[in-house]
Amino acid sequence: MRTFRGGLTIGLAVAVLVAAAAITYERYDTRTLKRTIRRGEVLCGVNRGLPGFSIPDDKGNWTGFDVDFCRAVAAAIFDDPSKAKFVPLDASERFKELQNRKVDILSRNSTWSMSRETNYDLYFPAVAFYDGQGFMLPRARNIDSALDLNGSKVCVQAGTTTALNLADYFRANNMNYTEMKFGKLDEVVKAYESGQCDTLTADASQLYALRLNLPKPTDHTILADIISKEPLAPVVRLRDDDWMMIVKWTLYAMINAEELGITSQNIDEALKSKKPEVMRLVGTEGSYGEDLGLTKDWAVRIIKHVGNYGEVYDRNVGSESKLKIPRGMNQLWNAGGIQYAPPIR
Amino acid sequence: MTKLRHLVWMLIAAVVLVLSTSQSFAQKRPDADEPGLVADESYELDPEWQKQVVYFRTNEPPGTIIVSTAERHLYLVQGNGRALRYGIGVGREGFQWQGLLNITRKAEWPDWVPPPEMIARQPYLPRFMAGGPGNPLGARAMYLGTTVYRIHGTNRPDTIGTAVSSGCFRLVNNDVADLYDRVPVGTKVIVRQKPQL
């Protein structure tokens, strides 16, 4: 009797464990890499149209910083950047659609925050673009610090964290301001254009895009001060480690390549280099690519087809683009910024 | 009479010859220094090369100059994660260097005495040129250590953002005058190169 009851308890416990394991298995996807390879393409969730980050032309060709990052992942896996397929997603649906396995990766100007990881069971592998709230104002005002904005009338979009950050910043620095709130971003811009406010505040990447559409863009300046943290990062599903590692190290390979001076132009020369750090990155030493589940030349594929971090930045949002966003925080850690990749070794 | 006519023709031929050789020099080196050319001060720089305050994180104290030759930027560190950034022209391939130097001398509208190395490479350059608007050193010069290198102005604002110099760093005249007023003799200048493969 006693042993029967004992057996029953053990049996029940096993059943509960098996059920729990099954539920966990269902809940967490661990096969993105395998599915992606079988499918032969990476499904990338992107913004429907954000100049510099992801935008399709009239022929359906996508360009942008986020788009190029996804192409880099495809290049690392397939040696072919065209094996990235872009799925435009709205802000409200993006995390759900990633959860529902409609896309393999979200490369869609999404701010990494704690609740987004915990509430949606997602993972942000690494920061691709450090954004943050800034100020735009007429160049003629000759102000080059946000601390000189005391007493300003500030145009801001109502009901956003932008308005809250603005309040915090002025309070923390003992400055006064008059808030000019508008429901839509276009209204904020119109108010600024018509001179209703002294300055306009929004995320810096947004300010550069808005400035392009002003009648005389060069008459307006964007301050170097950044008053909030908006780290934009790619997103994958939680507990899908093989896939997460590929996404993370794709970005780090691009950043390390820039630090080592390896570009899409000199990649062939880099393959002949005798410098240990260069050799590890291009795969002429070690088996770092294989350890990732890819090939030795995984990083070479990324750099050859898409470029290093700086090349992708300059082409899409930096000096060679229309936006011309200074590197700022996105400059390498040893050149004035905070972009820092762990070493490949 | 025929002799005189002969002489006239020879003179004309000589003038044509001199003109055509100087022309071919100019065509061969469209980006080289152009002594005598007066700078077009209304030339508008690309936003990338315009003087601006930027985010810049460094442990170097405010007042330090950091030159990034790969970026074609000169940073004057201001502290608090900021720097004043100027667009520059840098040394062409083979004329790039890096290191730490101090500003040892400052001069307004400096005279130009191209160093012997430069004369050897570019024999058509003058041996001496008095300071002024047509001088390739432009409005100001800041001499670096005991080297032949300087931070100076230019009479060619269109060369900002390019690698054409013999190792000097050139700024447009307005910018070099602005920088000149902000930095004393003794200022630390750090020159950074792109990494070698």
Residuewise pLDDT in 10s, chain A (345 residues)? 556 777 777 777 777 777 766 665 567 889 999 999 999 999 999 999 999 999 999 999 999 999 999 999 999 999 999 999 999 999 999 999 999 999 999 999 999 999 999 999 999 999 999 999 999 999 999 999 999 999 999 999 998 889 999 999 999 999 999 999 999 999 999 999 999 999 999 999 999 999 999 999 989 999 999 999 999 999 999 999 999 999 999 999 999 999 999 999 999 999 999 999 999 999 999 999 999 999 999 999 999 999 999 999 999 999 999 999 999 999 999 999 999 999 999
Q: Which domains does chain A have, with CATH numbers?
A: 32-130+232-335 (3.40.190.10), 133-228 (3.40.190.10)
**Are residues B155 and B87 both part of a single domain?**
yes
Residues B90, B168, B189, B191: which is the catalytic one?
B168
Print the domain residue range for B116: 38-192
Q: How far apart are CA A39 and CA A36, in angstroms?
A: 5
Local structure of A195: helix, strand or coil: coil
Residue at B90: amino acid letter: V
The helix (H) or strand (E) run that includes residue B91 is strand B90-91
Is B75 inside a domain boundary? yes
> B73 catalytic, yes or no?
no
What is the average pLDDT across B75-85? 95
Same domain, B24 and B44: no
Residue B171: inside a domain: yes
Q: Could you tell me if residue B123 is inside a domain?
A: yes
Q: Whole-angstrom Cα distance, residue B89 to residue A293? A: 45
B158 shares a domain with B124: yes
Q: Which residues of B touch A328 (CB under 8 A)?
A: 54-55
Residue B197 within any structural domain of the chain: no
Separation CA A309–CA A288 (nearest Å) = 20
A93: which 2 tokens? 């649906």
CB-nearest partner of A144 from B53, B55, B71: B53
Residue B168 is a catalytic residue: yes
Q: Is A106 on the interface with B (CB under 8 A)?
A: no
Considering only CB atoms, A319 lies closest to which of B48, B52, B53, namely: B48
Distance of CA A132 to the CA centre of its chain: 13
**Are both B47 and B22 inside the same structural domain?**
no
Q: Work out the minimum CA distance from B151 to partner chain A, whole angstroms.
A: 20
Contact in structure between A338 and A129 (CB atoms under 8 Å) = no
Residue B8 belongs to some domain of the structure: yes
Nearest CA-CA distance, residue B71 and chain A, Å: 10
- What is the number of structural domains in chain B? 2
Q: Quick one: DSSP state of residue B44?
A: P
Taking the C-alpha atoms of residue A179 and residue A151, their distance in angstroms, rounded to an integer, is: 10
Q: Are B54 and B85 in contact (CB under 8 A)?
A: yes
Strands A133-138 and A220-222, how do they pair?
antiparallel
In terms of domains, do B52 and B116 share one? yes
Residues B56 and B126 in one domain: yes
Query: Does residue B14 fall inside a structural domain?
Result: yes
> Which residues does residue B91 pair with via DSSP β-bridges, in sequence order?
B165
| One domain for residues B47 and B105 | yes
Residues B59 and B155 in one domain: yes
Predicted confidence at residue A247, as pLDDT, reads: 98
Residue B33 covered by a domain: no
Q: Which candidate, A318, A161, A175, places its Cα nearest to that of A229? A: A161
The pTM of the full predicted model, rounded to 2 decimals, is 0.87
Inter-chain residue contact A224 with B196, CB threshold 8 Å: no
| In A219-331, alpha helices (H) | 241-260, 267-270, 276-282, 288-291, 298-305, 309-316
Q: Which residues 67-86 in chain B show a CB within 8 A of chain A?
A: 68, 71, 75, 82-83, 85
Same-domain pairing of B127 and B158? yes
My answer on whether B20 and B92 are in the same domain is no
